[in-house]
Amino acid sequence: MDTGAAQEQPVQEQPVQEQPVQEHIVDSGGVAINVAVAGAGRPVLLLHGFPDSWHLWEKQIQALAANGYRVIAPDLRGHGSSDRPEAVAAYRMPLLIGDVLAVLAHFGIGRTSVVGHDWGAALAWSFTFRHPEMVERLTVLSVGHPGASIAAGLTQRQLSWYMLWFLHVGVAEAVLPADDWAAFRQWAWNGAARGDDPELDRQIADLSRPGALVATLNLYRANIRPETYFLPTAPVLPRVSCPVLGIWSTGDLFLSREQMSGSGGWVDGPWRFAEVSGAHWIPAQAPAELTALLLDFLA
The catalytic residues are: 118, 280
Can you say whether residue 190 is alpha, beta or left, with left for phi > 0 and alpha for psi between -120 and 50 degrees? left
- Beta-sheet strands, E only, within 105-210: 112-117, 135-141
Nearest to 141 by CA among 112, 114, 109, 101: 114
Is the Cβ–Cβ distance between 261 and 149 less than 8 Å? no
Question: 196 CB contacts (<8 Å, ≥6 apart)?
Answer: 189
Listing DSSP states for 215-252 in one string gives HHHHHHHHH--GGGTT-SS------B-S-EEEEEETT-
Instruction: Give the SS3 label for residue 167.
Output: coil
Element housing 164 (H / E): helix 161-166
The Cα–Cα gap between 123 and 114 comes to: 10
139-169 CB burial, b ≥16 within 10 A, e <16:
bbbbbbbbbbbbbbeeebbebbeebeebbee
Identity of the residue numbered 19: Q
* CA dist 91 → 1, 85, 95, 99, 226 (Å): 35, 8, 6, 10, 17
Nearest to 295 by CA among 14, 4, 9: 14
The Cα–Cα gap between 72 and 223 comes to: 25
The Cα–Cα gap between 257 and 113 comes to: 24
